[in-house]
Amino acid sequence: MKKRRPAWKVWPVLGSSFLVYPALAQTVNVPAGLPPTVNATYQEVGMGGWTPPTSTTTQQISGSGSVVSTTTTNGSSTDALQSMYSQSWGYAAAQNASALGVNPDALAATCVVESGCRNVYTANGNSSITGAFQMSNGTYNEALQKALASNPSLASSITNTGVSGQQDPATQAVAAAQYLKDAATTLQNSGVSNPTALDARAYYNFGPSAGVKVAQASEDTPMSAVLPSLSSQQLANNGISPGETVGQWKSNVASKMGSAASSPILSS
């Protein structure tokens, strides 16, 4: 019979195996984006003040376990941006937005509200609105062509410039970013300084005429009053309850967008 090895002899062996394990890791890659993270939008009652990290550090580790490179990105990213990054197309969408001078946080806030940043197919016989950014074919086409005209280098990252590109979120992000840029420019010219993702929300959802009016309206204005042509059913379909004010609507939208609600649209 084999003699049982004493515990004090076993634990060092087990411990050293854990110490060796990290050396087996090859590299840290995030080709499909970062995994979804907890959104710290609502603070738990009784919880003390909490400040999210304002920088991200990525290390590349070789097969022998040594650190090949360390990259630190300064600046805080919003919870909406993290949601977009958790999608395989998230980084490409953010890059396309930046190429148009649009803040990726504002783009991410839009996709979070529109679809939860999921590439949904929602077109039907009555509407062509579809995709992660929920654009109609008309708006998508016009905005995409405008974006490509203003920055032709974007064409190299787009494989499908036809209307079927709507279901490619990285491509649709080009059109959505351009539309947000148009919204910001229009709102600025209409007296709204440094428009945020929240300021542009009504423009994105209801078009330029309603968007400008909602952004300019005082908080106590009923939403129905600045959307006079919409029926009760259309208001309900857009999540607007009877008597809801502009202030209440903005608050609801902001809670969905999280910290990205206050992100300026224009990054330059």
Which is closer to another protein, CB of 84 or CB of 210? 210
In the complex, what is the shortest distance from the CB of residue 243 to another protein, in angstroms, rounded to a whole number?
Answer: 9
Paired tokens of 196: 């945020």
Closest CA to 213 of 192, 193, 233, 231: 192
Which is closer to another protein, CB of 187 or CB of 260? 187
Which is closer to another protein, CB of 59 or CB of 185? 185
In the complex, what is the shortest distance from the CB of residue 192 to another protein, in angstroms, rounded to a whole number?
Answer: 8
In the complex, what is the shortest distance from the CB of residue 134 to another protein, in angstroms, rounded to a whole number?
Answer: 11
Closest CA to 173 of 122, 98, 121: 98
Size of the chain in residues: 268
In the complex, what is the shortest distance from the CB of residue 157 to another protein, in angstroms, rounded to a whole number?
Answer: 24
Q: Is 33 helix (H, G, I), strand (E, B) or coil?
A: coil
- Tell me how far apart the alpha carbons of residues 87 and 133 are, in angstroms, rounded to a whole number: 13
Distances in whole angstroms, Cα of residue 96 to Cα of each of 43, 153, 245, 253:
32, 10, 35, 24
Return all residues near 188 (Cβ < 8 A) that are at least 6 apart: 194, 195
Sign of the torsion angle spanned by Cα atoms 132, 133, 138, 144: negative
Which is closer to another protein, CB of 44 or CB of 220? 220
Which is closer to another protein, CB of 17 or CB of 218? 218
Burial zone of 127 (CB within 10 Å; 0-12 exposed, 13-18 middle, 19+ buried): exposed
Which is closer to another protein, CB of 151 or CB of 186? 186
In the complex, what is the shortest distance from the CB of residue 48 to another protein, in angstroms, rounded to a whole number?
Answer: 28
Which residues contribute to the site for another protein (CB under 8 A)?
A: 136, 138-139, 142-143, 186, 189-191, 206-213, 216-222, 224-232, 234-235, 242
Which is closer to another protein, CB of 53 or CB of 228? 228
Pairing of strands 67-74, 55-61: antiparallel
In the complex, what is the shortest distance from the CB of residue 188 to another protein, in angstroms, rounded to a whole number?
Answer: 10
- Tell me how far apart the alpha carbons of residues 112 and 81 are, in angstroms, rounded to a whole number: 9
The residue with tokens 């994105």 is: 204
- Tell me how far apart the alpha carbons of residues 4 and 102 are, in angstroms, rounded to a whole number: 67
In the complex, what is the shortest distance from the CB of residue 91 to another protein, in angstroms, rounded to a whole number?
Answer: 28
Are the C-beta atoms of 64 and 48 separated by less than 8 Å?
no
